[in-house]
Structure 1
Amino acid sequence: MLSKENNDLLTRTGPGTPIGRLMRSFWTPAMTERELPPADEPPVRLRLLGEALVVFRDSQGRIGVMDEHCPHRGASLFFGRNEEGGIRCVYHGWKFDVNGQCMELPTEPAGSPMCAKMRARAYPSRVAGGVLWVYMGEGEAPPLPDFEWLGLPSSHVYVSRWEQDCNYAQAMEGELDSAHVGFLHRLVKRNDEDDQKLTGRFFTNDTAPVWKVLPTPSGFMACNGRRVDAERRYWRLNQFLLPFYTMIPPHPNDAQLVRMWVPMTDERCWVLCATFRPDRPLGEDELAAWINGDNSHRRVVPGTTLPTERLDNDYLIDRALQKTHSFTGIAGVRAQDAMVAETAGPIADRTREHLGSSDRAVVAMRRALIDAASACAERGVRPEGSTAPHLYRVRATQTVLPHDLDPEQSDELMATARPREVSPVAK
């Protein structure tokens, strides 16, 4: 359990909060590139780290990310006119470029020095790997994290974004909690195909894995081992990377993936998922499955980021299916995960928890965030990962090892899971 003070620290991400300051020392993945509006088209709203923003492209295609509220009298720039190199507030015609610099003050006398001094709050942004990244911190922006997918051709990567109705931390905790997989995602009756999957029978045959948490400069590896037989153990190494990234190992021959759990407000978050193949373009069938939300990504109402199965429709639970096929009766792993996170409330009361040994990775994640946030807030210490992009060049992985072999002693596992020094991708 956490004290109320630490629970508040962990879950509050607005300007001036310790976690908010920590997150703002990194680039923030905000939306997919295909969600960006075209040049001179209307802006779109974006809620990020508790701040209301608008995003637009100017006449030259440059991207502007700025405070939704005009600095004059606070009217919403979402209703503004995107025209001739800037966005114009419809209240009094004040106009701003993508950097927030005022371009015109038509309600002020000609030659007024006020125009040169007036600025809207705007944030640096970049597009890489099919994602719009926004830097909301102070001072010079650090390098983008050197995730593997950022340097790949667009044909090798698919990224999606959806909403989740709970705090970012409790949404992210499920990704690190491998103990739940043998129950929440269980099939009542498995078939031969299910048993062939590396994760299928191992998760159901041993529901109480042993845990090892291995710290890394940018987070930690959550290693959980399940008994295969008297001589072997199946090890699964998940990655947690500050401040809100997770990686889980794919099934053999499946694509790699990274998930991003980005606060929208303290009570809602964005989930972005990047699935990619480093060695070849994506196949038509797997791409269609991701777009449809069949696996890895969430099924959403077409044209929106709103999930199809959600709290206000009881996740379309099928009680008949729950008796005969699915342990939950809810279709889709992502919807199952969302259900258990969202039904704990917008911000879970962690003072009421009773944690066990299976929660070691969850405890480690909370501690890593709280410690990093405290160091950032109290001593101004930036996390190592915010200025060392190569620390994000890692993968989640899995394998079967002899029963007495620790995963840290496996050179093959560590070669994949430890950060790899590579030439940074073009930013």
Structure 2
Amino acid sequence: MLSAEQNEFVTRVGPGTPAGSLLRRYWQPVALTDELAGPRPVKAVRLMGQEFVLFRDEQGRHALLDRDCPHRGADLAFGRLEDGGLRCPFHGWLFDATGQCLETPAEPAESKMCTRIRQAAYPVVEKSGVLFAYLGQGTPPAFPDFDCFVAPDSHTFAFKGLFECNWLQALEVGIDPAHASYLHRFFEDADTAASYGKQFRGASADSSMPITQVLREHDRPEISVASTDYGLRLTALRRLSQASTHVRVTNVLFPQAFVIPMSAEMTISQWHVPVDDTHCYWYAIFTSFTGPVDKQQMREQRLQLYELPHYTSRRNKRNDYGYNIEEQRLATYTGMGDDINVHDQWAVESQGAIQDRTREHLGTTDKGIIAYRRLLVKAIKGTLAGEPAPLLVDAAQAAQLTGPASIDGIAHAPAGADDAEAGPVDTEAYWQAADLERRQRCEWAAARLAPAEQA
């Protein structure tokens, strides 16, 4: 439980706020690369309560500028891409990707006024189908060599979706391993062979057992949390028998992302990015360790739920998330369809625009949330005191941050052990070996292993 003051401290993200000051020290997703496709690659962006315009200029450079023209405050998101930059339609002032004003056409021909005008501009880089921007002061941190950033384009797919709630409660659902046994419970197990692109619908690794069966029949996971150089590692164990244990390893990438298994072949790296204090986007990079991602199928699956151009869910609070009483009785625990994004959206939006954490009562399965909040508060206080924060790394340090391991599988006792006589399953050795084996079988991941680890 947090006090009202503590809740404000960790949730508010506008300019000058404590949490906002911390988050501005990190690269933030601002758009999918696909959103700048088409004849006019210009897009209005609202991020952490500020208004920006994102564009790609004629030279192919990505740029993010403050949205209000520094002349008279007109909206640059309606600007024209021409003459090497973005031109305001009001008086024709022209700005390049660095924010430098190149022309002030209404001024006298001999005027040098444009040389003294610079619009605030922010670095933008493209990573695996997502455009990231840096809003902070000084040199941005380097991008760690995480799987989602180093896998080839053929093996990644990016998407996003809007949640109408604060960023923190949206993030916290992803670091809660216990909720899946209820929120994502299905009363019948679908054909796992048809699970491509769908989370919690396939079989766990090293088993033919559907993950839906695991979650439904084993709803009391043993959860442990470990501090890492990138944030936190969460391990959830579900004891299936004396000789087998379901192991799910997930990760928190500080400050606001997590890496979780989607299937035996694919992981999800997902950021929860504040639009403002009461809205956020989730941005996900799906990374394959087998063959290339079927991007068309992945996109078509998601567009059944999400509407463009704002990536809003067709099932939302205005239509009760598609709730159906017969479905809740017979098919799913929520009665809100089989897309788990809808389940998560209902859960976090139903907490309110900003969850009132003075009314919550955390249990033992919330240890990941507790550990993350402590890490967050420490980093915010450190930022206010001018101290370093986690994962603000240079290029050399970033190269040492790889992975992280994210596994959903079933660990078994040694072959030949009788179920009644089998000793404890070594679950840590299992997930480490499973992660290494998956990388050894994957061409792009194997190339990044140390020589002694390569198969």
Q: One fold, TM greater than 0.5?
A: yes
2:408 matched to which residue of 1? 398
C-alpha displacement of 1:204: 2.2
Q: Which piece of structure 1 moves more, 226-235 or 407-416?
A: 407-416
Question: Once the 2 structures are TM-superposed, how far is the Cα of residue 256 of structure 1 from its aligned partner?
Answer: 2.1
Task: Please state whether the residue corresponding to 1:100 is helix, strand or coil.
Answer: coil
Distance 2:447 2:151 in 1: 17
Match in the other structure for 1:224: 236
Superposed displacement of residue 154, structure 1: 2.5
Which residue of 216, 226, 231 corresponds with 1:204? 216
> More displaced, 110-119 or 337-346?
110-119
Q: Tell me the amino acid that sits aligned with residue 71 of structure 2.
A: H
Does structure 2 conserve the Cα–Cα contact (< 8 Å) formed by 1:43 and 1:56?
yes
* Equivalent position SS for 1:363: helix
1:354 alignment partner in structure 2:
361
Q: How much does 1:149 deviate?
A: 2.9
Match of 2:3 in 1: 3
Which of 264, 279, 284 does residue 273 from structure 1 map onto?
Answer: 284
Measure the CA separation in 2 of the matches of 1:204 and 1:19: 37
Deviates more, 1:327-336 or 1:84-93: 84-93
Alpha-carbon distance in 1 for matches of 2:304, 2:169: 17
Task: After TM superposition, give the deviation of residue 134 of structure 1 in Å.
Answer: 0.8
Per-residue deviation, residues 352-409 of structure 1 (Å, max 9, x unmatched): 0011111111112222222112212213313235433242531311344467456556
Question: Could you tell me which residue of structure 2 aligns to residue 29 of structure 1?
Answer: 29
Q: Is the 8 A contact 2:242 2:424 kept in 1?
A: no
Secondary structure of the residue that 2:380 maps to in structure 1? Answer: helix
- 2:69 is the alignment partner of 1:70: yes
Gaps of 5+ in 1: none
CA distance in 2, matches of 1:392, 1:308: 36
1:330 aligns with 2:330: no
Structure 2: distance between partners of 1:159 and 1:143: 20
Measured after TM superposition, the shift of residue 313 of structure 1 is: 1.4
Residues paired across the two proteins, number: 416
Return the alpha-carbon distance in structure 2 between the equivalents of residues 230 and 290 of structure 1: 41
The reply to whether residue 14 of structure 1 matches residue 14 of structure 2 is yes
Query: What amino acid sits opposite 1:398 in the alignment?
Result: D
Task: Report the secondary structure of 2:307's partner residue.
Answer: coil
Mean Cα displacement is larger for which, 340-349 or 104-113? Answer: 104-113
Q: Which of 342, 360, 369 pairs up with 2:376?
A: 369
- Per the TM alignment, residue 200 of structure 1 is displaced from its structure 2 partner at its CA by 2.4
Letter of the 1:59 counterpart: E
Structure 1 match to 2:180 = 181
CA contact (8 A) 2:124 2:131 kept: yes
Aligned to 2:256: 244
> Relative to structure 1, is the Cα distance of residues 88 and 209 closer, same or farther in structure 2, using a 3 angstrom cutoff?
same
Q: 1:231 to 1:64 in 2, by over 3 A?
A: same
Give the deviation of 1:21 after TM superposition: 2.1
Measured at CA, do residues 400 and 385 of structure 1 come closer, stay the same or move farther in structure 2, by a change above 3 Å?
A: farther
Give the equivalent residue in structure 2 for 1:258.
269
Q: What is the TM-score with the length of structure 2 in the denominator?
A: 0.84
Aligned partners of 2:11, 2:52: CA distance in 1, in Å?
21
Q: Judging changes above 3 Å, is the alpha-carbon distance between structure 1 residues 302 and 135 closer, same or farther for their aligned structure 2 residues?
A: closer
Mapped to 2, the partners of 1:241 and 1:20 lie a distance apart of 17
Matched, 1:81 2:90: no
Unpaired stretches in structure 2, ≥5 consecutive residues: 193-200, 414-422, 439-445, 450-455
CA-to-partner distance for each residue in 1:223-259, whole Å, 9 max, x for gaps?
A: 111121134432211110011111112333x322211
Change beyond 3 A, Cα 1:131–1:289 = closer
Moved more, 112-121 or 334-343: 112-121
Greater shift after overlay, 47-56 or 203-212? 203-212
Mapping 1:274-423, distance limit 5 Å: 274-283=285-294, 287-293=296-302, 299-331=305-337, 332-387=339-394, 388-390=397-399, 391-401=401-411, 404=424, 407-408=427-428, 411-412=432-433
1:46-65 map, 5 Å: 46-65=45-64
Q: Which one-letter code corresponds to 2:366 in the other structure? A: D
Given residue 433 of structure 2, which amino acid in structure 1 is its aligned partner?
Answer: E
Q: Secondary structure at the match of 2:250?
A: strand
Question: What is the identity percentage for the equivalent residue pairs of Structure 1 and Structure 2?
Answer: 33
Using structure 1 for the length normalisation, give the TM-score.
0.89
What code does the residue aligned with 1:105 have? T
Residue 306 of structure 1, CA deviation: 1.2
